[in-house]
Amino acid sequence: MLGARDLVLIIDFGGQYTQLIARRVREARVYCEIIPYSTPLSEIKSRNPKGLILSGGPASVYLPDAPKCDPGLLQGELPVLGICYGMQLMAYLLGGKVKRGEKREYGLAWLQVVDSEDPLFRGLPTEMQVWMSHGDLVEEVPPGFSVIASTSDTPVAAMVDHGHRLYGVQFHPEVHHTPRGKEILEHFLYDVCGCQGDWTPKSFIEEQVREIRQTVGRGRVIGALSGGVDSAVAATLVHRAVGDQLTCIFVDHGLLRKGEKEQVENFFKEKVGLSLVTVDARERFLKKLKGVADPEQKRRIIGHEFIRVFEEEAARLGEVEFLLQGTLYPDVIESGSQTAAVIKTHHNVGGLPENLKFRLIEPLRWLFKDEVRRVGLELGLPEELVWRQPFPGPGLAVRILGEVTEEKLEIVREADWIVREEITRAGFDRQVWQFFAVLLPIRSVGVMGDERTYAHPVVVRAVTSEDAMTADWARLPHELLARISTRIVNEVAGVNRVLYDITSKPPATIEWE
């Protein structure tokens, strides 16, 4: 956690848009964190937040098992904004009435602002488009509250108790479909909470450098360096803090993309000047993965083996106390929490062994990917590295469905190279969040050179996203997809069919495993 100048805490009730709230707050240059609804009041107060935001959620506040925060949060010590379920809970806990609506309201609605001078709506139109997603509604506001906005189906679309600085909105200001939502959130952050908007990449770097120096002292750090933007930014940040107390280790586990080892060694040794040790562990990892088809087991095996390699290298380096990792906020969220289900275990979160011998240094743990890129640019890293394609820690092992073999690695490695080369050549590499090839554990009949073939299908995956929490499939030109398909079939032995994945996240994830 960061010692940010301004801090806003988002109380999570399991809402589908909770991460979007966090992103919008950070886009307003205010640092925030998502915490479970069950977090004790004393712990929240000890963080000295400037304000609180209660997220949406799927439950009904009047049911016995509905998630509820400590009512002490609503006593006026801190400004609070309740969104959707958060507003309903605020009303319910303070003596208002919440009921099941006669008409559920999902999608676009028109908000009628009753009090245009209220800080939340000041300077905004008295009628504006908002996004609704609710079945319950506030029938009667609590004592001390007044209604400041409504829609045709929701009489209480926004409410306020100015004396206690408590606000509630039934709509979702955090989503794109509420066009003025960003301004509404900024009004709460700046005009109600008094935030200064001083959380920037520069201030983040300064705070992290101080915190890393304080934590590490004179100790030594071993860095998990993959060459991707996350580990690169993390390593550069720690190097700025502790200099040659950091040694970076690059593990060639045999699951890398084409040319990756050479790129990493050239850049970090020659251009950055980091102390870098390369470990050839290809045979070791493939042996461990032999016969393993389950994706979660793959991730755990790779995570455990990574740590063991680091431990062995650390022993050769002498006494090392800290392990650096490029863990991001989505990794933490997707690996499960009280209000977020385990989507998939990230090797650097849930895949770590219980008897870990190092203390972890994770300076990017609270950042989204786009924030990491901005920090990287502020650190002076070149754009070609900062904008490098995201690549999962388990590498090509999770892009090969089923057992990992050398033959399958060669197929997916060559197919992936063609995908990346063609999309980059066409100028879509900055417009598309991530693009790669996946090898399926099946074969299909084809015909090549007037002969029957029975070979592998390859799936091309390309998605657009802002933070990897949600994603949509990229609408690449048909001509580009045709070139990719033709080259893969012609140039990659063992492939006779190419498919294009047109599934968003959710319901799918970006990676296939």
Instruction: Tell me whether residue 172 is one of the annotated catalytic residues.
Output: yes
Predicted pLDDT at 223: 86
Of residues 32, 33, 69, 84, which has the active-site annotation? 84
Tell me the domains of the chain and their CATH numbers. Answer: 7-192 (3.40.50.880), 201-386 (3.40.50.620), 405-500 (3.30.300.10)
The pTM of this model reads 0.71
Instruction: Tell me whether residue 84 is one of the annotated catalytic residues.
Output: yes
Distance, CA of 222 to CA of 206 (rounded, Å): 21
Predicted pLDDT at 314: 80
Distance, CA of 21 to CA of 358 (rounded, Å): 34
Phi (first) and psi of residue 347, to 5 degrees: -60, -25
Question: Where do the H-state alpha helices sit in 318-362?
Answer: 329-334
pLDDT in tens, 446-500: 988 778 889 999 999 999 987 677 789 999 999 999 999 999 999 999 999 999 9
Three-class SS of 366-429:
CCCHHHHHHHHHHCCCCHHHHCCCCCCCCHHHHHECCCCCHHHHHHHHHHHHHHHHHHHHCCCC
pLDDT in tens, 135-191: 899 999 999 999 999 998 899 999 999 999 999 999 999 988 899 999 999 999 999
pLDDT at 381 over 70: yes
Contact 370, 228 (CB under 8 A): no
Predicted pLDDT at 312: 87
Instruction: Give the CA radius of gyration of the chain.
Output: 25
Of residues 105, 174, 260, 305, which has the active-site annotation? 174
Q: Measuring CA to CA, how many Å separate 136 from each of 67, 98, 99, 407? A: 15, 7, 6, 55
pLDDT at 357 over 80: no
**Average pLDDT across the chain, whole number:** 89
Predicted pLDDT at 353: 56
SS3 5: coil
| Structure tokens that stand for 127 in this block | 């009628």
| Structure tokens that stand for 369 in this block | 């990917």
Of residues 32, 105, 134, 172, which has the active-site annotation? 172
Q: Measuring CA to CA, how many Å separate 461 from each of 73, 104, 436, 479, 492? A: 45, 36, 5, 16, 17
Range from 224-228, 302-306, 331-335, 363-367 carrying the lowest mean pLDDT: 331-335
pLDDT at 342 over 50: no
138: amino acid identity, one letter? V
Three-class SS of 8-69:
EEEEECCCCCHHHHHHHHHHCCCEEEEEECCCCHHHHHHCCCCEEEECCCCCCCCCCCCCCC
Distance, CA of 77 to CA of 186 (rounded, Å): 20
pLDDT at 330 over 80: no
Which helix (DSSP H) or strand (DSSP E) does residue 81 occupy? strand 80-83
Phi (first) and psi of residue 214, to 5 degrees: -65, -40
pLDDT tier for residue 349 given thresholds of 50, 70 and 90: very low
> Which residues touch 450 (CB under 8 Å, ≥6 apart)?
none
Phi (first) and psi of residue 433, to 5 degrees: -65, -45
Distance, CA of 501 to CA of 451 (rounded, Å): 28
Question: Where do the H-state alpha helices sit in 428-500?
Answer: 478-491
Contact 391, 257 (CB under 8 A): yes
pLDDT in tens, 422-446: 999 999 998 999 999 999 999 999 9
386: amino acid identity, one letter? V
Sign of the Cα pseudo-torsion (460, 465, 470, 471, in order): negative
Predicted pLDDT at 103: 67
Distance, CA of 49 to CA of 78 (rounded, Å): 8
**Residue of 267 and 460 predicted with greater confidence:** 460
pLDDT at 109 over 50: yes
Instruction: Tell me whether residue 69 is one of the annotated catalytic residues.
Output: no
pLDDT in tens, 390-406: 788 899 999 999 999 99
Predicted pLDDT at 184: 97
Distance, CA of 304 to CA of 106 (rounded, Å): 45
Maximum C-alpha span of the chain: 81
Mean pLDDT in residue range 199-222? 93
Mean pLDDT in residue range 17-27? 91
Range from 298-312, 381-395, 408-422 carrying the lowest mean pLDDT: 381-395
> Which residues touch 235 (CB under 8 Å, ≥6 apart)?
223, 225, 246, 248, 268, 274, 324, 326
Predicted pLDDT at 347: 41
CA dihedral 458→461→462→465, nearest 10 degrees, is -170
